[in-house]
Amino acid sequence: MTTEGRSGGGPMYTRSAMFLAVLLALPGAAALGQMSRATLVKQSDIIFIGTVTQVGAVAVPEVPASDRTVVVHVDQVLEKPAAVALGAGDSVTVQTAQPGSLKPGSQATFYTTGWIFGQGVAVREVGHEPGRSPVVVADQQAAVARARLEMNDADLKAHIQKAAMVVAGRVEQVRPAELAGGAPAHRTRISEHDAQWQEAIIQVQDGIKGAQAGEQVVVRFPTSLDVAWVGTPRFTVGQEGTFLLHKDSTTGSPETVIAGRSVPAYTALHKSDVLPKQDALRIRVLMRKP
């Protein structure tokens, strides 16, 4: 079992890496309905292969039974958050996307989001891939993993397109942020949610988008330990990376000063905004893709 970060996801996300061979349905392209597998994966937190055991029923007392609920025996978990205790042999209550879409004995790969967590797990169906036997779980595991990678790349590409600047570089200096007097974050205000803004001056070594090597750019970042800023990237002197920078629309003070010049200030508040330096090549490849 491996644990890894998930773009746009929660604090921890586990992807099952077990490759047990069992018989189950092979997804056919037509069975995906109107959603691609990649889209199903993108919208899902919990993906598993299972067999419907009951319709109009529930496996957990917290959920009322309805014509949209089915009980599914889990044959194999393909993806789930690390926090969730779910494994082969468990029964999951699924709120289906469409009443009557699943019959007892149906085998499928279920793409779902977590709904209710108690003595058991109840999920909401995003979609499912019905199929026909036989196939090995490893095939579906690999297909879902490929789809996840595709979606991560698509998300990153969209993120690149939204960024005003993408650079590979090194943090040369960190200093307190000088915010304009009218900026909301600069008002005399004491709050536990105060961001405690600082500025990192990045020496651009590779201008991938909107910048050139040799430039210096200023990135504002919160230093607060407060829950409102948990997971937000921080910067330290000497740090190298590939940075997706956005014009500062958060502090209310869009400009800063460097070497006596007024320049735009940027932010990098999403965890995907700060990537390893070697990801510069991946980003260039993604930018070239149609």
- Give me the residues that bind another protein (CB under 8 A), please: 1, 6, 8-14, 42-43, 45-46, 62-63, 81-87, 113-121, 184, 187-194, 196, 224-230
Which of 279, 264, 268 minimizes the C-alpha distance to 246? Answer: 268
Q: Which two tokens stand for residue 2?
A: 């491996």
Rounded least distance, CB 278 to another protein, Å: 25
Rounded least distance, CB 168 to another protein, Å: 26
- Residue among 84 and 138 whose Cβ is closer to another protein: 84
Which residues are registered as beta bridge partners of 260? none
Residues in the chain: 290
Rounded least distance, CB 30 to another protein, Å: 27
CB 27 within 8 A of CB 131: yes
For residues 275 and 153, give the distance between their C-alpha atoms in angstroms, rounded to a whole number.
Answer: 13
- Residue among 53 and 196 whose Cβ is closer to another protein: 196
> ∠ CA 67-70-118 to the nearest 5 degrees?
115
- Residue among 121 and 218 whose Cβ is closer to another protein: 121
Rounded least distance, CB 118 to another protein, Å: 3
DSSP 56: S
Q: How distant, in Å, are the alpha carbons of 2, 108, 178, 211 from that of 262?
A: 47, 59, 12, 16
Tokens 């900026």 sit on residue: 183
Q: How distant, in Å, are the alpha carbons of 60, 135, 283 from that of 211?
A: 55, 50, 15
Task: Provide φ and ψ at 159, rounded to 5°.
Answer: -65, -40
For residues 287 and 68, give the distance between their C-alpha atoms in angstroms, rounded to a whole number.
Answer: 42
3-state class (DSSP) for residue 110: strand
Rounded least distance, CB 190 to another protein, Å: 6
DSSP 251: S
Rounded least distance, CB 26 to another protein, Å: 27
Rounded least distance, CB 9 to another protein, Å: 3
- Residue among 37 and 42 whose Cβ is closer to another protein: 42
Rounded least distance, CB 56 to another protein, Å: 17
Q: What is the DSSP string of 162-188?
A: H-SEEEEEEEEEEEE----TTSGGGSS
Q: Which two tokens stand for residue 289?
A: 């893709």
Q: Say if residue 211 is exposed, middle or buried (CB neighbours under 10 Å; 0-12, 13-18, 19+).
A: buried
